[in-house]
Every structure is written in C-alpha cells, then in structure tokens.
Amino acid sequence: MDNEKNIVIGFLVIVILIGLMILIKIFPHINFSTPIEMTIVKQNGSITEITNQRNPSYIQHYKIPNINFPEGTEFEHPGIGKFGLQTDFFADLYTVINIKKEGTYFFSVASDDGFQLWIDNNLIGEFISNRSFSTDQVNVYLNEGDHHFKLSYYQGWGRLGLVSFYQGFGDSTTYLIGKNSKYMSFKYDDTIQY
C-alpha cells in the first residue's frame, strides 16, 4: 500500500513540474522569482533629504518581487505585508534589467519623500527632499543586454510611499519594476556589495 502511495505522489510531482515548465514556456514574461534586493536602513535620528549621512540603528535585507509600496502611513507591500516602518528610514533597491531591444525607455518613480534613481551607476533622476506623494518620469536610451538598476528612497515623517514602473517607447502600458515584459526582464543582482 505504501509503495503505491509513493508512486502516486511521485507521479503527481512530475505532473506539477511539467505543468510549471509549460507555463513558463507559454508565459515567459511572468516572473516567478524575487529579482529585487531591498536593504532597509532605519536611521538613528531624523532624515530631511536623500543625501543625509546614514546613521543606522539597524539594517535589514529582503528579496521582493517588485517596487510597489503604495501611499499610506506605514511601509507596506501588497504581496508581502507591513515592514513596521513609518518614519526616518532609507530603502535601497537593486536589480539587473535585461533589455531585450535597444531603445528609449521611460522610468517613473512615485514617492513620498525623496529618491535617487541610478542605471549603470549613472544618476538619471532624483528628488532630494521632502514631498507629498508625486511622480517623476525620466527617459533613457538603453542598449540590449544587462544594466544595473538602483533606486534609493528615504522617508522622513508623515505619509509615505514608493512605486516605480517603466514603459517602452510609444507604448502606454506601464509595468512595475520587477515585472517582466516584452521589453525587459529582471534578475537578482549578485554583485551587490554591503
């Protein structure tokens, strides 16, 4: 009886694995991973702008699927939950973007408070100080292949939020950073130095 049960379980595992492989082949733009590394630095003291010197009371690392922390009173990701942060912290988010076709891409950052956006160690967008939830958009020409993406964010006091997305040139569809599309895919950046 146990032998038959083991055979059935083994067969079900194989069927599930084959099903997942078929789904990945049919829907390659779906991202089943957590391609973004997020480092949270809780500040010992207050923060007034993104360029303030960091004085951490603690540092935590997370892997997340996308950059989506909607406006609110606590740092929260819809797919993960609350992080227990409301004031005076930094968040650094890293990933590698693989551009499938060279061209101009639009990157947007909606934040409350400030941010700095870097691609391949080049600063392409920033809002240095405090603000209510607002969006900045930048465009950048990217060659085919891998590019390092870094988004640094800070929250001082009051309401907060951070959402980042991208668009292909001439396309009105927006995708969260971390969501694969016909334009780009994302993978974990294993070159991050702490």
Q: How confident is the model at residue 15 (pLDDT cuts 50, 70, 90)?
A: confident
φ and ψ at residue 147, rounded to 5 degrees = -140, 140
* Separation between Cα atoms, residue 184 and residue 178, nearest integer Å: 9
- Mean per-residue pLDDT of the chain: 90
**Is 60 exceeded by the pLDDT of residue 13?**
yes
**pLDDT band at residue 29 using 50, 70 and 90 as cut-offs:** very low
pLDDT in tens, 32-54: 568 999 999 999 999 999 999 99
Amino acid at 14: I
Which of the two residues, 1 and 94, has the higher pLDDT score? Answer: 94
For residue 31, what pLDDT is reported? Answer: 46
Q: How far apart are CA 163 and CA 184, in angstroms?
A: 18
- pLDDT range class, residue 3, cuts 50, 70, 90: confident
pLDDT digits (tens, 9 = 90+) for 92-102: 999 999 999 99
**Integer CA distances (angstroms), 155 to 16, 22, 45, 57, 150, in order:** 43, 42, 12, 15, 17
Asked if residues 188 and 63 have their Cβ atoms less than 8 Å apart, the reply is: yes
* Pick from 28, 7, 20, 38: nearest CA to 192: 38
Q: Which residues of 164-181 are buried (b: 16+ CB within 10 A; e: fewer)?
A: bbbbbeeeeeebbbbbbb
pLDDT over 80 at 77, yes or no:
yes
Mean pLDDT of 2-18: 75
Q: According to the model, what pLDDT value does residue 192 have?
A: 65
Segment 119-178, tens digit of pLDDT: 999 999 999 999 999 999 999 999 999 999 999 999 999 999 999 999 998 899 999 999
Is residue 2 over pLDDT 60?
A: yes
pLDDT of 28 reads 45
> What pLDDT was estimated at residue 146?
96
- Please name which of 175, 162, 166 lies closest in space to residue 71, comparing C-alpha atoms: 162
d(CA 130, CA 111): 10
